[in-house]
């Protein structure tokens, strides 16, 4: 049965990657939480999506150039006053450490997906630090380590041969089963557009090529024409239980992926996804 993970907690409604957002996602009834980690100047693992404070907090600067004490001075909630549920108490939210989040989750039997944000900054020994924190505070819960940067998750496997690792991908890959077997991947974490391509886009491109008499190699025309009818059914037939899909917010897309029985849907609106899942179950 498809699981529902709260993407950065419940970021469509609450300030992303905060303890508030994680607790709200748990209250909604998620099967798991997805979060992102970086390393501070003084070697602390903090939970935040971007490499800098600028977008999501009241502060500025690169995480790698700031100490934990400096990061703890900024608000991780004040920038979300535009959200309908905003309350002034959000201004008191801080960027949490991974240790703090693990301690927060301790009473709740939810899975945890830790994305290591190492595709732009080479954080020295972040894999070992994350592993040690999970070993000490994870309470035996299922933890999946993911990254766009393949060497990072391979290092996680070197540290712990039983670690659940998943490769984040924005595009599809050929022979995915071979990658999974070779690198001992527990799953692939795919952009929803890989699993749910938009044929109307390629249909418009094909029509424009035909109407404008654009001289393109026949291989290009063949590719565009094939994508009109592409639904990745072959991929899903073999690997649906090994695929987690992000970030899925539209009700029709949530419904489609539930019918495809992918392993997990990651969403900014977990309460919406859970409601759709329950509705589909009542009609089975």
pTM of the entire predicted model: 0.90
* CB contact at 8 A, 65 and 38: no
Residue-level pLDDT at 218: 72
Sequence-distant (≥ 6) Cβ neighbours of residue 35 within 8 angstroms: 8, 9, 17, 22, 47, 101, 112, 113, 114, 115
Residue-level pLDDT at 198: 65
Whole-number CA gyration radius for the chain = 20
Domain ranges in the chain?
3-195+232-276, 198-231
Write out pLDDT tens, residues 127-137: 999 999 999 99
Mean pLDDT across the chain, nearest whole number?
A: 92
Residue-level pLDDT at 219: 74
Give the CATH number of domain 3-195+232-276; options: 3.20.20.190, 3.60.15.10, 3.20.20.450, 3.30.110.70: 3.20.20.190
Residue-level pLDDT at 235: 58
Helix axes 150-159, 176-183, angle to 10 degrees: 40
Mean pLDDT score, 119-123: 97
Position 237 confidence tier, pLDDT thresholds 50, 70, 90: low
Residue-level pLDDT at 183: 98
Verify whether residue 213 is a known catalytic residue.
no
Write out pLDDT tens, residues 154-203: 999 999 999 999 999 999 888 999 999 999 999 999 999 988 866 555 56
Catalytic residue of the set 49, 149, 184, 193: 49
Q: How far is CA 44 from the centre of its chain?
A: 21
Token output for 280: 């589909």
Verify whether residue 7 is a known catalytic residue.
yes
Residue-level pLDDT at 38: 98
Catalytic residue of the set 7, 38, 131, 189: 7
Question: What is the rounded distance in angstroms from the CA atom of residue 24 to the CA atom of residue 6?
Answer: 9
């Amino acid at each position: 049965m498809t699981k529902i993970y709260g993407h950065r907690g419940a970021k469509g409604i609450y300030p992303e990657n905060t303890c508030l957002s994680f607790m709200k996602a748990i209250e909604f009834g998620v099967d798991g939480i997805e979060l992102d980690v970086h390393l501070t100047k003084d070697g602390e693992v903090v939970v935040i999506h971007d490499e800098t404070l600028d977008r999501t907090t009241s502060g500025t600067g690169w995480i790698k150039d700031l100490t934990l004490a400096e990061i703890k001075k900024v608000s991780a909630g004040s920038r979300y006053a535009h959200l309908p549920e905003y309350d002034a108490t959000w201004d008191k939210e801080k960027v949490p450490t991974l240790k703090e989040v693990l301690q927060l989750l301790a009473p709740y039997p939810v899975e945890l997906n830790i994305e290591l944000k190492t595709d732009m900054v080479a954080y020295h020994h972040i894999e070992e630090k994350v592993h040690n924190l999970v070993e000490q505070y994870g309470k035996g819960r299922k933890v999946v380590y993911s990254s766009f940067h393949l060497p990072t998750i391979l290092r996680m496997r070197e540290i712990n041969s039983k670690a659940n690792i998943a490769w984040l991908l924005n595009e599809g890959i050929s022979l995915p089963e071979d990658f999974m077997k070779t690198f001992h991947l527990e799953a692939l974490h795919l952009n929803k557009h890989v699993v749910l391509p938009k044929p109307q886009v390629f249909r418009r491109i094909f029509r424009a090529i035909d109407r404008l008499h654009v001289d393109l190699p026949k291989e290009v025309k063949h590719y565009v024409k094939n994508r009109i009818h592409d639904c990745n059914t072959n991929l899903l037939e073999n690997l649906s239980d090994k695929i987690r899909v992000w970030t899925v917010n539209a009700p029709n897309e949530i419904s489609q992926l539930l019918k495809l029985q992918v392993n997990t849907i990651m969403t900014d609106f977990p309460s919406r996804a859970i409601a759709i899942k329950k509705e589909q179950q009542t009609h089975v």
